[in-house]
Amino acid sequence: MTAPVRPWLLPDLPVVLVSHRGPVSFRRDQTGARTASRGAGGLVTALTGLASSLPDAVWVCAATTNEDMAVAGEHGDQAVEVTLEPKPRVVGEADPAVGSTSQPGCVKLRLVQLNEQAHDDFYTVIANPLLWFLQHGMYGLAHAPRLTRREHIAFEDGYRAVNQRFADAVVEEVTVRGGRALVMLHDYHFYLVAEQVRERCPEAVLSFFLHIPWPGPDAWRILPPAWREHLLTGLLGNDVVAFHTEGFARNFLLTCQELLGLPVDLQAMTVDLGDRQVAAHHYPISIDVAAMRELAASAEVAEHARGLREAFCAGDRQLVLRIDRTDPSKNIVRGFEAFATLLADHPELLGQVTFLALLQPSRQDVPEYADYLAEIGAVVARINASYVREGHEPIDLRLQEDLPLAVAAYTVCDVLMVNALADGMNLVAKEAVLVNTHDGVLALSENTGAHQELGAFAVTLHPFDIQQQADALYAALTMDPGLRRARREAAALVVQENDLGKWLAAQLADLPIHPQPSR
């Protein structure tokens, strides 16, 4: 899936994209052959459209598998061209007929090889959990976090070292493009890159987009002063720092004001560094509407939808759905507890309603995530044992990633539950309301970026209040059919009119990268 980028919005200078996960990852199969798979997730989908529309773009990302490292090594650690369609692979490899010149649908990838210990410290000690938990407000401060020598070493030799490696790679890519390029940095993995690139490539235009929440200044006091200053001054190396919501952008300015003592303008949304200003903008990310509709209309999805309808929607039976990574920020355990409360309060629903949870195991090398997955299994077993009736278990938990099945489930569900503790946006909510054909109700956490656009058409969930979530699920399941339809259609229209192309276009239009009209 790629998002269309209107040609007149494309920058007139080369683009260097930077994210931790790239659009393709390589492995060896059992026969020893190299295989490649597309990266999943909103960030990758969003950037793929841009990268493949531009003739001279390079995507700098981490080599996260042994085979990624082999590919990088074979190309002397320089960018390698990959095709994404119909199946991802290195251009010229396995199918020499494809040739090796740049072509539409190709992306240049610079896979950055990292020392294993450094990457582990960067990813499993600092980025996830520390920054992720802090930014999603997930710490119970009486017990966590505990910053010991281990974390101090991980910040220096992991987070800072990996950011340094990425800055070096970006500087090389900008330099081979003549020193002037648009560098688009993505997410909390790379707060320190812009400052270093600006020093060494003063003509580069630097933008940063954060895909997760930015909390207010007090949350950042969890970090040692030197760390938070590094993170903030690193970010202020950008020309623009962008977020999903205005609230996150405002929090960022207030953090610069309070923790760095810098003057900020909350009207103009800028922070003043003396010799230049940094803008804090907000652009709510979205989905590729045409691609999602195309997938929803495919034969594979239709086949899955038939099976799901037979299994869960016969007669007047109803289906509650959730689709998430097994991330503690998604609040999956409380969601199941709310469903159990619903069944306890309304026993007439037993056997009538099923909760289908399609969950993708995530970040299992981070202990907090492994523990959370175990907790999910335990709570589901407990609830199913308590509420099983005539062989019908109320929760169907599937730990797998299957996009066509997920989209089929979107189309047939009666209620989609999104009860995240905090979420930068939440694209599941947008995908589901777009393609649902059952006038399904969106039950949406007030703490998601998506709630700002879709909350008016949703049943709002308060993520810490299990009873409220149970009552809200009941309201959704018993909602008047006319109201269900009107709300679903209104929500779909909002998504349709604010698709991924608009998200990209708004950012590109605001950057100083377009040729000035000649007078």
SS (H, E, C) 424-470: CCCHHHHHHHHHCCCCCEEEEECCECHHHHHHHHCEEECCCCHHHHH
| 69 interacts with ligand F6P by CB under 6 A | no
Residues 35, 352, 360, 362: which binds ligand F6P (CB under 6 A)? 362
User: Are 503 and 6 spatial neighbours (Cβ–Cβ below 8 Å)?
Assistant: no
| 43 interacts with ligand F6P by CB under 6 A | yes
CB of 212 to ligand F6P, least distance (A): 5
CB of 182 to ligand F6P, least distance (A): 20
Q: Which residues contact 519 (CB under 8 A, 6 or more apart)?
A: none
Total number of residues that touch ligand F6P (CB under 6 A): 9
Q: Which is nearer to ligand F6P, 14 or 213 (CB)?
A: 213
Q: Which residues contact 221 (CB under 8 A, 6 or more apart)?
A: 228, 259
| 178 interacts with ligand F6P by CB under 6 A | no
Alpha-carbon dihedral sign for residues 158, 159, 160, 166: positive
Kindly report the number of other CB atoms within 10 A of residue 519's CB atom.
3
Q: Minimal CB distance to ligand F6P: which residue?
A: 41
Residues 160, 177, 281, 363: which binds ligand F6P (CB under 6 A)? 363
CB of 166 to ligand F6P, least distance (A): 14
Q: Which is nearer to ligand F6P, 129 or 501 (CB)?
A: 129
Q: Which is nearer to ligand F6P, 126 or 262 (CB)?
A: 126
* Opening angle at CA 396, ends 430 and 456, nearest 5: 25
CB of 357 to ligand F6P, least distance (A): 18
d(CA 390, CA 381): 16
Q: Which is nearer to ligand F6P, 61 or 508 (CB)?
A: 61
Query: Which of positions 208-267 make contact with ligand F6P (CB under 6 A)?
Result: 211-212
Residues 68, 151, 172, 187: which binds ligand F6P (CB under 6 A)? 187
CB of 187 to ligand F6P, least distance (A): 5
Which amino acid, one-letter code, is at 329? S
d(CA 129, CA 145): 9
What is the DSSP track for 178-193? TT--EEEEESGGGTTH
**DSSP letter, residue 392:** B
Residues 2, 10, 21, 130: which binds ligand F6P (CB under 6 A)? 21
Residue numbers of the site for ligand F6P (CB under 6 A)? 21, 41, 43, 128, 187, 211-212, 362-363
